[in-house]
Amino acid sequence: MIARGGDYCVLQLRRQHACGFDYLAQIRYQLLRNQLVAALTLTHLR
């Protein structure tokens, strides 16, 4: 967990593979009224 607040949290994962695929994934969960909203960001680093 890299960030959190009263109604949200952000999780992060970085993976590097021998084939050269290097990425950073972040998922943000946020409670908005009666809904749980998730947003995914995937960034290719190399």
- CATH of residue 26's domain is 2.10.70
Q: In this structure, are residues 23 and 41 in contact, taking their beta carbons and an 8 Å threshold?
A: no
pTM, to two decimals: 0.77
- Give the residue, 17 or 43, on which the prediction is more confident: 43
Integer Cα distance of 38 and 46 in angstroms = 26
- Total structural domains within the chain: 1
Which range marks the domain in which residue 10 is found? 3-44
- For residue 15, the tally of other CB atoms under 10 A from its CB is 10
What string of DSSP letters covers the chain? Answer: --EE-SSEEEEEEEEE-TTS-EEEEEEEEEEETTEEEEEEEEEE--
pLDDT of residue 39: 98
pLDDT of residue 13: 96
Statement: residue 46 has pLDDT above 90? no
Residues 1-39: tens digit of each pLDDT: 999 999 999 999 999 988 888 999 999 999 999 999 999
